[in-house]
Amino acid sequence: MIVLVDLLLMLIDLTYSILAAVVQTFVRPRLKCIDGELCLITGAGGALGRLFALEFAKEGAHLVLWDCNTAANERTAELARELGVRVHAYTVDLSRRASIYEAAERVRAEVGDVSMLVNNAGVVAGRRLLDCPDEILERTLLVNCHALFWMTKAFLPQMKAKNHGHIVTIASALGLFSTACVEDYCASKFGAVGFHESLTHELLADDLDGIKTTLVCPYIVDTGMFAGCEIRKELRSLIPPLQPLYTVQQSMKAILAEQLMICIPRIMYIPFLTRALLPWEANLATYRFMGGDKCMLPFIKNVEMKTSNGVINSS
């Protein structure tokens, strides 16, 4: 009897969730106020990180900016300070666990408890698996995936103590479905998605409803990180690379609405669903038709031309 009651309640919750999602598609949800919140953004010196910093500053949040590029990070800090918020910039190597924990201790001592954590930093090797040195492959996984564990362990305890906070993971559409020749990046982003979802389930199971999570999965963003990547030319106008500002603004709407997940653009939900529903061969046929099997080859060629200068693609 208890099982039947629980089943009925589950069906009611399921129906309500679907209807609420449909309504939110057409009605702008209420956005929360984050004025005075302390927001930490990783990869703040990059294109997306800088835009996130400025958008959070416009909402009145005080900022803690982390990046391995000191000059770029300080430039972001300067721009954010012009908007009238407190900003603290730290040079942190996210590929080193000790660097994360040391910087986290400094933040707690010098600034205070972080209430919003935006895990934005990301890198990609841009080389075929067999041509890529092990240490570069490891760096992709350390920055894009492993750092999420250390960041969360560093800042979640304070959020749990107050039952207040928000953890944002900037993943990728390539964390929901894969493409050829970027095994390191796909593996790291699949890991990021899995980590984020499991963390969300844990928080809900512990009744920590004051700690929100948002998973952001954008298509390729035109930041130069995947310069040269292109699908079949006849379809490029249908799914063009995303503009950075548009990507960040859509992400901010989802964060402030406390939306659990967002794919940008919405058409990215289609391959996410078909991957699960259709046979492998059917997905493969669509993938080849769209040029997904060779879309990364121009990007890899561009990276090979830069390797002599020691350039590593990062967001």
Extents of the domains making up the chain: 32-309
Catalytic residue among 185, 219, 246, 269: 185
Asked whether residue 197 carries a pLDDT value surpassing 70, the answer given is yes
Q: What is the CATH number of domain 32-309?
A: 3.40.50.720
d(CA 100, CA 92) in angstroms, rounded, equals 7
Write down the pLDDT at residue 245: 98
The pLDDT value given to residue 314: 59
Q: How far is CA 209 from the centre of its chain?
A: 21
183 or 6, greater pLDDT: 183
Residue 234 and residue 7: Cα distance in Å, rounded?
48
For range 284-300, the mean pLDDT: 84
Q: According to the model, what pLDDT value does residue 255 have? A: 98
> According to the model, what pLDDT value does residue 76 have?
98
Concerning whether 185 is annotated as a catalytic residue, the answer is yes
If you average pLDDT over residues 106-124, what whole number do you get?
97
Q: What is the pLDDT of residue 200?
A: 98
CA distance 201 to 260: 11
Average pLDDT over residues 43-70: 98
pLDDT at 22: 67
Alpha-carbon torsion, ordered 183, 314, 274, 255, to 10 deg: 140
Q: How confident is the model at residue 310 (pLDDT cuts 50, 70, 90)?
A: low
* Closest-CA residue to 271 (of 230, 219, 207, 210): 219
Q: What is the pTM of this model?
A: 0.90
Sign of CA dihedral 167, 173, 179, 181: negative
State the DSSP string of the chain: -HHHHHHHHHHHHHHHHHHHHHHHHHSPPPPPP-TT-EEEEETTTSHHHHHHHHHHHHTT-EEEEEES-HHHHHHHHHHHHTTT--EEEEE--TT-HHHHHHHHHHHHHHT---SEEEE---EE--S-GGGS-HHHHHHHHIIIIIHHHHHHHHHHHHHHHHT-EEEEEE--GGGTS--TT-HHHHHHHHHHHHHHHHHHHHHHHTT-TTEEEEEEEES-BSSSTTTT----GGGTTTSPPBPHHHHHHHHHHHHHTT-SEEEESGGGHHHHHHHHHS-HHHHHHHHHHTTTTTTTHHHHHHHHHHGGGT--EE-
Residues with Cβ within 8 Å of residue 148, at least 6 apart in sequence: 119, 169, 192, 195, 196
Residue 29, preceding peptide bond in cis (omega within 30° of 0): no
Half-sphere exposure of 284 (CA within 13 A, CB side): 3
**Predicted local confidence at residue 202, as pLDDT:** 98
Mean pLDDT to the nearest integer, 284-291: 85
pLDDT, tens digit, for every residue of 203-258?
999 999 999 999 999 999 999 888 878 888 877 788 899 999 999 999 999 999 99
43: left (phi over 0), alpha (psi -120 to 50) or beta: left
